[in-house]
Structure 1
Amino acid sequence: VAIGAGILDQLAAPSARRRRPVPPRSWLPGPRQVAGFARDRVGELTRAVGIGASVMRASRLELGAGSALAADSSGTRRLATAVLDHEDVQRIRRAEGGTANDVLLAVVAGGLRRWLLERESRIPGAEPRALVPVSRRRPGAPPGSGNKLSAYLLGLPVAEPDPLARLAAVRTAMDRNKAAGPGRGAGAVALLADQLPPLAHRFGAPLAGNAARILFDLLVTSVPLPRSQLSLGGCPLRAIHPMAPLARGQSLAIAMSTYGGRVHIGLVADGKAVPDLDRLAESFGQELADLLGASAAR
C-alpha cells in the first residue's frame, strides 16, 4: 500500500532532506560478528522448529470448510467490489460496543450466511474460519520497511440467524484473541512468510503453502489507508478497493479499506468455484442495513 500510495500527490513530493553518505565498511566480519551470526542462525532454526510444531498442533483441530470456500485452483479469477457507509458502521459500534472491525467482520459473516443459503440452501456444519491479519507495529512507531504482521483465527458465526447475536459472537471471539495477543495461537503462524527467518524459508515454504488449507477457510483483511483526501495529478481519488491474494486450495479472499467516509471492499475469488461473486458483494450492503436496523430497534 505504501509503495502504491507513493505516486499520489500528497506523498510523492521529494524530501528536502538528503541522507548523508555512509562510509564503506569492510566485508570481513570480526570475531564478535562471527559469534553473533552463529547465535542468530541457532535462534532462527529454533523459531522455525517452533512454528512448524504450532502448525502441526493446529492441524489436529477440527477445522471445517464450506464446499463453496475450498476448491482446487482453476487458474481463473473473478473480482467484485462493494461500498459501505462508514458512518453506519460507527453508529452500530457506538450502540453495541466493540470496534468498527468487529462490526465489519460481523457484516462479512452475515453476508456469507445469505450467500450460502441462496446458493446451497443450507449452512455448513462447521463455522468457516477466517484468517484476520493484524499489525504487530506499536502505535506511533516509525513505518520502517516491510510488513510486521501476525494474525488471528476467527470462526465466522454463519449459522446464527440473529444479526446482533452474530456481532456479539464476533466481538467475544476477537476479544479473546486480543487478550491472548497477536503472537499466540494458530493464527499467529499462518502468515509464515513473515514469521519464518530467511534461513528457514527453504524448509518452511512447503509447510506454509499447505498451512492455508489446514488452518483457515478464507482471508478477511483490513488494509489501512491515509485519512486525508488523496489525489493524482490534481484529480481527487474517490474510491480504492484492495484486492487480497488467494491462498492455495481456497476460493475466496476479502479485503476492506476505509477512505473518504466509505468502506471499500474488494473480493477476489476463483472464477470457477465462485461464479456468483457479485451476489456475495451485494449481500454485504443488505447485511449492514439489517444490522443497523436491529441495533436501532433495540
Structure 2
Amino acid sequence: MAPELLAPLDLAFWNIESSGHPLHMGGLFVFDADTPNAARRAAGLLVARAARIPGLNTRIRPVLFPFGSAARRVDPDFDPSDHVHLAEPVRDFHTAAGVLMQQPLERERPPWAAHVLPGADGTSFAVLFTFHHAHADGMRAASYVLSLLDPITVDAVPASSDAPRRRETGSVLRLPDPRKLPDLVRGAVTDAGRAVSISSAMARAAWGVRSSPALTSRATGSRRADGAVVGLREVNRIREATGGTVNDILLAVVAGGLRRWLDKRGDGSDGVQPRALVPVSLRDPADPGASGNRLSGYLARLPVDEPEPLARLRAVREVMERNKQAGPADGPGAAALLADAIPPLGHRFGGGLIARSGRLFYDLLISSVPLRGADGLRLAGSPVREAYPLAPLAPGQALAVGITTYEDRVCYGLLADAVAVPDLDVLARSIAEEADELVAVCGT
C-alpha cells in the first residue's frame, strides 16, 4: 500500500491535538455476558479480527513533501494485541470510559484502541472503541466497529444525501504534476472564496449569542462520560404527533435536557441559546469505507430559553430547515471545510491557534452516528444491549453529545470536561426526563 496523504481536515485534527487535549472519538458498547469469561473471549476475538481489517494497520507519519503534511502508511510492526486491552472488572462502564477517553492514543502506532471492560457483576461487559479523528470520522469508525463484531448481514451503504460532493483532497503521495498547476490554482482560489463566505456566515451566527458558564468554562483536558436511553417507539410517537424529522426531535430533547440541567444546577436558562455544531456527512454513498474524514456541518442555536417543549421543537425544526436550505457547503456550520484553505505548514505550526478558535464559533457538538441496518449485534455471541457514541471534545469545549439509534432505543452518549461539568449524570437524567415530557405533551 502506497503512503496516502492526509486530507487537510485530517491534518488539522492531527495537529490540534495536544497531550492535555486528546482528539479521539469513542463508542461504548455494552453487552450481556453469557458466561463469566465472556469479556476475555471477546478480547481474543478482537485481536484476531483486527489483523484482517484494512486500515487498522496504518499509522500517521510526517512527510518531507508537501512541507508540513503527513501520510498514512502501513505499520510494518503492527500487532493487534498492542491495541486491544483487557481491563480489570469495573462497576460503572461510563465512569471507566471517561477515564480512558482522557488518555491520548499512541501517535507512533495506528491511532485506535479497544478497551474490554468486564462488569463487576459478571453478567455484562463493555468495549470502548476509540479512533483518532484524523484516522476516521464517525461513519468510518462505525464501519470499523461493525467489522470487528460478529458477522451479520449489514446494510453498509449509507442513505443517499442531497449534500454536494466534496472535492477530494487526500491522495497517494507523489510529486505534483506541472500540467495540473492551473487546476490546483483554481482549486486554491475556490477554497479561499469559500473560506471567506463561511467565515462571514460564522461571524453573523455568533452575533448576540448568550451561552452558559457550564459550556464556556475553562477546559482542563479531564473527561467524564455518561449516557441516557430514550425509547425509539416514544420518539416515533412524538414524530407522528408533530411531524418533522426524528433528528429534529432528538436535537429538541437535547435542548430541553440542557434547560432542565441548567435550572437544576442554579445557572438558569433565561436567554441561553448555545450554538450547536451538528456534523453532516459528505461521504460518497458508493465508497463508505474511504479513509479519513468526509465532513461538513450545520450550526444551530438551541432554544434552551424557550419554556414550552413543543415550541422548542418547532424552533429546532425551523433552524434545521434553514440549514438544509442553505446546504452544508457554505453555511456557518461548514467550519470543517475551512481546512482546505490552509496550507500544510499552516496546520503544522498553527494547530494550537486553530484549536483555541473553536470555542469562538460553537458552544457544543451534537453528532449523530448511524448504525443503519445493524440490529442484533453480537461479540463472541454476547448481544449488544446499548451503544453510546462519544464525540470528541475540541480544546476549549466542555460538552459533546453523541446520538445513535440501535434496535428499539436511542442512546445519547455524553462526554464532558470533568472539572467544568462535574454533574454530567444530572444532564443525562434531564435528557430522559425531557423525552418523557414531550411524549406526555403529545399524548394530550
Residue 260 (structure 1) aligned with residue 407 (structure 2): yes
Higher helix fraction: Structure 1 or Structure 2? 1
**How far does the alpha carbon of each residue in 1:198-230 deviate from its partner, in whole angstroms, 9 at most, with x for none?**
962432545642342111100011101132321
User: Which residue of structure 2 aligns with residue 44 of structure 1?
Assistant: 188
User: Which residue of structure 2 aligns with residue 286 of structure 1?
Assistant: 433
For 1:154-165, list aligned pairs within 5 A: 154-165=300-311
Residue 182 (structure 1) aligned with residue 323 (structure 2): no
Contact 2:262 2:268 in 1 (8 A): yes
Q: Which amino acid aligns with 1:142?
A: D
User: Which residue of structure 2 aligns with residue 295 of structure 1?
Assistant: 442
Identify which of 286, 298, 303 aligns with 1:152: 298
User: Which residue of structure 1 aligns with residue 86 of structure 2?
Assistant: none
Residue 107 (structure 1) aligned with residue 253 (structure 2): yes
3-state DSSP of counterpart to 1:171 = helix
Q: Which amino acid aligns with 1:83?
A: V
For 1:227-242, list aligned pairs within 5 A: 227=373, 228-242=375-389
Q: Which amino acid aligns with 1:154?
A: A
**How far does the alpha carbon of each residue in 1:72-116 deviate from its partner, in whole angstroms, 9 at most, with x for none?**
222211111111101111110111011111001000000000000
For 1:214-229, list aligned pairs within 5 A: 214-227=360-373, 228-229=375-376
Q: Which amino acid aligns with 1:143?
A: P
Q: Please give the alpha-carbon distance, in whole angstroms, between the structure 2 residues aligned to 1:179 and 1:53.
A: 16
3-state DSSP of counterpart to 1:240 = strand
Identify which of 259, 271, 275 aligns with 2:422: 275
User: Which residue of structure 1 aligns with residue 397 of structure 2?
Assistant: 250
Displacement, 1:58?
Answer: 2.2
Identify which of 282, 286, 296 aligns with 1:141: 286
User: Which residue of structure 2 aligns with residue 7 of structure 1?
Assistant: 148
User: Which residue of structure 1 aligns with residue 231 of structure 2?
Assistant: 85
Q: Which amino acid aligns with 1:203?
A: G
Distance 1:171 1:57, change over 3 A: closer
3-state DSSP of counterpart to 1:160 = coil
Residue 197 (structure 1) aligned with residue 364 (structure 2): no
Q: Please give the alpha-carbon distance, in whole angstroms, between the structure 1 residues aligned to 2:356 and 2:193.
A: 16
**How far does the alpha carbon of each residue in 1:159-216 deviate from its partner, in whole angstroms, 9 at most, with x for none?**
1111001001000111111111111211012x25xx5239624325456423421111
Contact 2:197 2:330 in 1 (8 A): no
**How far does the alpha carbon of each residue in 1:141-173 deviate from its partner, in whole angstroms, 9 at most, with x for none?**
331413322111111101111100100100011
**How far does the alpha carbon of each residue in 1:230-277 deviate from its partner, in whole angstroms, 9 at most, with x for none?**
111222222111101112211000001100211111101111110000
Q: Please give the alpha-carbon distance, in whole angstroms, between the structure 1 residues aligned to 2:317 and 2:211.
A: 22
Contact 1:48 1:200 in 2 (8 A): no
3-state DSSP of counterpart to 1:104 = helix
3-state DSSP of counterpart to 1:196 = helix
Distance 1:213 1:52, change over 3 A: farther
Unaligned runs of 5+ residues in structure 1 are 14-26
3-state DSSP of counterpart to 1:272 = coil
Q: Please give the alpha-carbon distance, in whole angstroms, between the structure 1 residues aligned to 2:344 and 2:153.
A: 34
RMSD: 2.5
Q: Please give the alpha-carbon distance, in whole angstroms, between the structure 2 residues aligned to 1:283 and 1:208.
A: 33
Contact 2:210 2:273 in 1 (8 A): yes
Count of residue correspondences? 277
- What TM-score do you get using the length of structure 1 for normalisation? 0.84
Displacement, 1:122?
Answer: 1.7
Displacement, 1:124?
Answer: 5.0
Residue 58 (structure 1) aligned with residue 205 (structure 2): no
Displacement, 1:57?
Answer: 5.3
Q: Which amino acid aligns with 1:40?
A: L
Percent same amino acid at aligned positions? Answer: 45
- What TM-score do you get using the length of structure 2 for normalisation? 0.58
Q: Please give the alpha-carbon distance, in whole angstroms, between the structure 2 residues aligned to 1:99 and 1:42.
A: 38
Unaligned runs of 5+ residues in structure 2 are 1-141, 155-173
Higher strand fraction: Structure 1 or Structure 2? 2
Q: Which amino acid aligns with 1:3?
A: Y
Displacement, 1:47?
Answer: 0.8
**How far does the alpha carbon of each residue in 1:270-291 deviate from its partner, in whole angstroms, 9 at most, with x for none?**
1111000000001111100100
